[in-house]
Amino acid sequence: MRLSIFHDARSRGVLSAVSAALEKTYGLETRETLEKAPLDKALNTRRGQFNASILLSTLAKEAHRPFLWILSSDIYVKGMNFVFGVALFGVGAVLSTYRLDSLDLVRKEAIHEMGHVLGLSHCENECVMQFSNSVAEAKMKPSKLCSKCKNKLEKMLSSLSFD
Ligand SMILES: [Zn+2]
Ligand SMILES: [Zn+2]
């Protein structure tokens, strides 16, 4: 399965690490990396943040699936002060490095969001699919899938088809 990775200019530095982690975890091979800045129409000037739902749905109309869009700006979804990322099953995800202070965290959250894209839900085991609401929580969870999620993933991968 092949993955398209979009990134803004300041996120170029994380591409190779993220790409390698996603290939190792999910067998997702990066088919292309494309520079794409966040869209003005998704900027909430009052909050100084981009609406991740708008970014995700806009890119979903034009990109190969699955995709990952890595941005250095802060993002949010309705009802949340901020999010690290947002994902749409079978389609793609948007990930913000804004609050992630290490490459390890960026990699971990990329694995988490792409897990959602491939059909995984939040998990309470020692698992990268644990929900994290803060950087401290994100740091505490492992960067690997637990065995339950691995089994679920295998079943999902055989039923998913991407272009
Ligand atoms: Zn999640
Ligand atoms: Zn799990």
**Given pLDDT bands bounded at 50, 70 and 90, which one contains residue 162?**
confident
| Closest CA relative to residue 73, chosen from 109, 53, 92, 48 | 48
Ligand nearest the Cα of residue 153 is 2
Domain region containing 140: 2-159
CA–centroid distance, 114 to ligand 2, in Å, is 13
CA–centroid distance, 161 to ligand 1, in Å, is 22
| Residues constituting the chain | 163
| Closest CA relative to residue 113, chosen from 135, 89, 137, 136 | 89
Q: What is the number of domains present in the chain?
A: 1
Mean pLDDT of 104-133: 97
Q: To which H or E segment does residue 103 belong? A: helix 103-117
CA–centroid distance, 131 to ligand 2, in Å, is 10
Annotated active-site residue in 32, 113, 124, 137: 113
Residue type (1 letter), 90:
G
CA–centroid distance, 95 to ligand 1, in Å, is 11
pTM: 0.96
pLDDT digits (tens, 9 = 90+) for 10-57: 999 999 999 999 999 999 999 999 999 999 999 999 999 999 999 999
Question: What is the spatial distance between Cα 8 and Cα 37, in angstroms, rounded to a whole number?
Answer: 5
pLDDT digits (tens, 9 = 90+) for 114-124: 999 999 999 99
pLDDT at 163: 62
CA–centroid distance, 131 to ligand 1, in Å, is 5
**Catalytic residue check, 29:** no
Ligand nearest the Cα of residue 115 is 1
Q: Can you give the CATH number for the domain in which 24 is found?
A: 3.40.390.10
